[in-house]
Amino acid sequence: MKSVSTWWRARWDRVTARRDAGMTTSEYAMGTIAAAAFAAVLYKIVTSGSVSGALESVIGKALDAPF
């Protein structure tokens, strides 16, 4: 049988391990801000003239392809 101090140590290790298992609210907030910033940059890139023209060209070629 385990001694009481060994049991408490094992219990403490389980409790402290769970404490670091997930992200905190501030980490979720920073992740959300980073994802929104990345989405904004990606939107600006995709809607720019050169990229938009290239996408229209690729889509046009795909739709005009003979079957």
- Report the alpha-carbon distance of residue 42 to residue 24 in Å, rounded: 27
Tokens of 30: 């920073």
CA nearest to 48, candidates 37, 56, 60: 56
Name the pLDDT band for 22 (thresholds 50, 70, 90): low
Q: What is the mean pLDDT of the chain?
A: 82
Question: Is the pTM here over 0.95, yes or no?
Answer: no
Give me the pLDDT at residue 39, please: 96
